[in-house]
Amino acid sequence: MVPFHLEKGRKGTASDSTPMKDLVENRRRLPLGKKIKLATEVIRQNGIVWTGCLGGYYLASAVADRAFAAMDVLRKRNNLPGVNSASLNKLIWEAWDWQAQGEEWTPSPEWKQSVIDHILRKHMPAGGNLVEIGPGGGRWTDELRQIGAKLIAIDISEECLRVCEERFADCDNIEFVLTPGNELPGVADGSIDAIWSFDVFVHINRAEVEAYAAEFCRTLKSGGIGVLHHGTTGGASGGWRSNMTAESMIEVLNAAGLGIVDQFTSWTDGGHEQQAGLYEDAITVFKKP
């Protein structure tokens, strides 16, 4: 196996991104007398209604944290799919408003350009036969179709395919294919140079990832490359992530006969550190031997 590195990115959990939460933790450490004095002063300065809202906020954030932790425990104990089964993914992404074309997940134009320059263009061969899994509103499709001689865009959502067909109506090198969520239908054996999927495998559970890994092995040419963006913590870090971890992604790809080229959560571009995504997401690059 080719050596790889997993750089730990910023923590970015759902609770970390809630700035008021630290105040809740601090408040718990105050002795009762000081708490009463503080509450009295807050009411005196802000009135009972505003203070009631503040109390409601503290209570709701504590309940939300406990609910999230309980969901994680229940999901693991009872092997629940969360919102990441193929049928739920289909329902969710059929109903999504694609007006922003997926750019709502782009933190900055610089980040997107860095993904294109340092990851997409590095691994997607010019003039190759490419597959994109989960194009959504076409956020990466525009770049991929310019690089590849041919691009097969495969999605579980008919609405995504409709939106992309409309957006790329003038392009004659893209084929749009509907998948049940674990197959690359109609893609010929050993015909593909590279596979790209961003912000998709973060939502796909292990059973479907295993089926896809077998499909990667079937459809890639020898030496063909795949780039997958995915979660690393089994759904524990928020963002409605799949049950995959960084380690299980490697395990699943290796079990399908694919070698790991690299795995990372961040990269450096012009002195700036760029993150693969929120919630400790990673990017795994793999190769068919």
Ligand X SMILES: C[S@@+](CC[C@H](N)C(=O)[O-])C[C@H]1O[C@@H](n2cnc3c(N)ncnc32)[C@H](O)[C@@H]1O
Binding stretches for ligand X (CB under 6 A): 86, 89, 93, 102, 105, 133-136, 139-140, 155-157, 160, 179, 181, 198-200, 203-204, 208
Question: For residues 141 and 266, what is the distance between their CA atoms, to the nearest angstrom?
Answer: 22
135 or 226: whose CB is closer to ligand X? 135
Cβ at position 94, least distance to ligand X in Å? 8
Phi-psi region of 4 (alpha: psi -120 to 50; beta: other; left: phi over 0): beta
**Are residues 151 and 175 in contact, defined by beta-carbon separation less than 8 angstroms?**
yes
198 or 264: whose CB is closer to ligand X? 198
E-strand ranges in 46-122 read none
51 or 85: whose CB is closer to ligand X? 85
Cβ at position 134, least distance to ligand X in Å? 3
Question: For residues 285 and 123, what is the distance between their CA atoms, to the nearest angstrom?
Answer: 8
Cβ at position 12, least distance to ligand X in Å? 17
* Residues 6+ positions from 55 with CB-CB distance below 8 Å: none
155 or 193: whose CB is closer to ligand X? 155
* Residues 6+ positions from 168 with CB-CB distance below 8 Å: 138, 141, 142, 145, 174
Cβ at position 266, least distance to ligand X in Å? 18
64 or 92: whose CB is closer to ligand X? 92
Q: Count other Cβ atoms within 10 Å, centred on residue 270.
A: 8
* Residues 6+ positions from 178 with CB-CB distance below 8 Å: 154, 155, 156, 158, 161, 185
Q: Which residue has the tokens 């340092």?
A: 118
* DSSP-assigned states of every residue in 141-168: HHHHHHH-SEEEEEES-HHHHHHHHHHT
99 or 222: whose CB is closer to ligand X? 99
Cβ at position 205, least distance to ligand X in Å? 9
Cβ at position 5, least distance to ligand X in Å? 24
